[in-house]
A and B are shown apart, each in its own frame.
Chain A
Amino acid sequence: MEPKRIQAPLTDEVMISLKSGDNVLISGVIYTARDAAHKKLVELMDKGESLPIDLNGQIIYYVGPTPAKPGQAIGSAGPTTSGRMDAYTLRMLEKGMKACIGKGLRSQAVKDALQKHKGVYLAAVGGAGALLSKKIKKSEVVAYPELGPEAIRRLEVEDFPATVINDTCGNDLYEEGAKKYAR
């Protein structure tokens, strides 16, 4: 099946069209955040303070890249395990985040929240950091430079490949895929 091309940031219309198992190619602007950045963002939300980035319609990519060599936009940049962000994901969705890219299982609470907020969970191929780095054309640290690999980066991506795991209707590729090939 041909992959669907989508433009970031995302609209509700696009969200509803995405189904579990779809392959997508993302182009546009996305932001990175891992454990430490999420913790800081949610602390700001708790205090009622404004965030360093506007999350409306955004895709958050769970990644901590290797340092870029001279001439590179970014170093190796594959997804990290998403489950560690489960504790923060509901809050991020409430602030307008529409999709997150990572790898691995999500909690039931996150899956429910995705349905409620018309969000999707995407997986990129874990451990394909060299290949994925080629799809990132520009990278700029926009918050928390002191966190090093965990800083928030603004990425310009072109045809960045990902697969829809959890869609807005509550489907889950991890459950359905394994059932199909189990013996």
Chain B
Amino acid sequence: MRELAASVISDHVAEMCQRANIYLGEDVFKALKDSLESEESPTGKEVLKQLIENVEIARNEQIPICQDTGFAVFFVEWGQEVHLNDGTLEEAINAGVRRGYEEGYLRKSIVDDPLYKRKNTGDNTPAVIYTDIVPGDKVKISFAPKGGGSENMSAVKMLKPSDGEAGVIDFVVNHVKAAGPNPCPPIVVGIGIGGTFDKVAVLAKKALFRPVGETHPDSVFAALEKIILNKINDLGVGPQGFGGRTFALAVHIETFPSHIASMAAAVNINCHACRHLERII
């Protein structure tokens, strides 16, 4: 059994919260720069230039890329040979979020009671945490600060198996079209297909953690990612919705086996500040 102190998890989490919010990953930065080359609309190009400059200012001056420094979302793969000392995983992660958001001058965007009082918790906790127990003695922490504007443009639909590929395409493209400029395009579109009502939403979220440029490992689904991406860009919505050819930078699909009666589908949208980081401890 490997012994691991909760403080080690907290230290990593605090550092990840700050880093992810200030330094946009090279995968997304490259996609933005590539889209500047291919964009046809002058207004769209102007927006992309501002976004690239924004990434550079954030890095050089240590300013968060976006003022919405997000809901702290974690996927943890916990090696079953690791024993955590001095606290629970949840406490350790939340302690890291608390410290990272305070020390990093990040915005605290979480309210406690979602309906009535909506009082800010003051430290951006609690985080949303998904945990998988895996073989081995390592811990992998993946983190994304998820902005509210793009998160609001998300949906789950319980399609019928007979709806087939066309049903998935229609659902996603129509949904993204309705979202239009709201989720800060160019967007990254996370799609879940399969599983249950709850599982498919998590799949769509997980799809947003995949580096831009990587495809689904199954070539059939990789091809579907491309079809949907082209259809979305053909809507003409463009950067920030001002019109253009770059509405989305990428479409990522995650899949899971399905019940014989179901074909669940989910869309989770990320803005161009598609921030994600991982650490293996």
Physical interaction between A and B: yes
Chain A residues in the interface with B (C-beta under 8 A):
21, 23, 36, 63-69, 72, 75-78, 80-81, 83, 103-105, 123, 125-131, 133-134, 148-149, 161, 163, 173-174, 176-183
Assess whether A129 is in contact with B149, with CB atoms less than 8 Å apart.
no
Nearest CB in chain B to that of A21: its residue: B43
**B108 contacts the other chain (Cβ, under 8 Å)?**
yes
Chain B residues in the interface with A (C-beta under 8 A):
40-41, 43-44, 46-47, 50-51, 53-55, 57-58, 61-69, 105-109, 118, 120, 122, 147-149, 152, 180-184, 234-238, 240-245, 271-273
User: Which one of B63, B118, B122, B241 lies within 8 Å of A129 (CB-CB)?
Assistant: B63
Question: 11 new A-B pairs (CB below 8 Å) besides A64-B107, A76-B63?
Answer: A65-B67, A75-B63, A76-B67, A78-B66, A104-B149, A123-B242, A127-B65, A127-B184, A130-B61, A182-B234, A182-B235
A residues less than 8 Å from B242 (CB atoms): 21, 123, 163, 173-174, 177
Given A65-B67, A181-B243: A128 touches B51 (CB 8 Å cut-off): yes
B58 to chain A, nearest CB (A): 4
Q: A66 CA to B62 CA in the complex, in Å?
A: 12
Given A66-B105, A178-B241, A180-B243: A23 touches B65 (CB 8 Å cut-off): no
Q: A29 CA to B184 CA in the complex, in Å?
A: 26
Assess whether B234 is in contact with A130, with CB atoms less than 8 Å apart.
no
User: Which one of A80, A127, A181 lies within 8 Å of B54 (CB-CB)?
Assistant: A127
9 pairs from A and B in contact (CB 8 Å cutoff): A66-B67, A81-B148, A103-B182, A127-B184, A130-B66, A131-B54, A178-B238, A178-B241, A181-B236
A residues less than 8 Å from B43 (CB atoms): 21, 23, 163, 177
Given A78-B67, A130-B65, A131-B50: A123 touches B109 (CB 8 Å cut-off): no
Assess whether B57 is in contact with A148, with CB atoms less than 8 Å apart.
no
Nearest CB in chain A to that of B273: its residue: A127
User: Which one of B50, B62, B147, B236 lies within 8 Å of A177 (CB-CB)?
Assistant: B236
B residues less than 8 Å from A178 (CB atoms): 180, 235-238, 241, 243
A residues less than 8 Å from B68 (CB atoms): 64, 78, 80, 129
A88 to chain B, nearest CB (A): 16
Given A76-B66, A131-B57: A149 touches B240 (CB 8 Å cut-off): no
B residues less than 8 Å from A177 (CB atoms): 41, 43, 236-238, 241-244
A residues less than 8 Å from B40 (CB atoms): 181
B140 to chain A, nearest CB (A): 28
Q: A80 CA to B120 CA in the complex, in Å?
A: 17
Given A173-B243, A180-B236: A130 touches B58 (CB 8 Å cut-off): yes
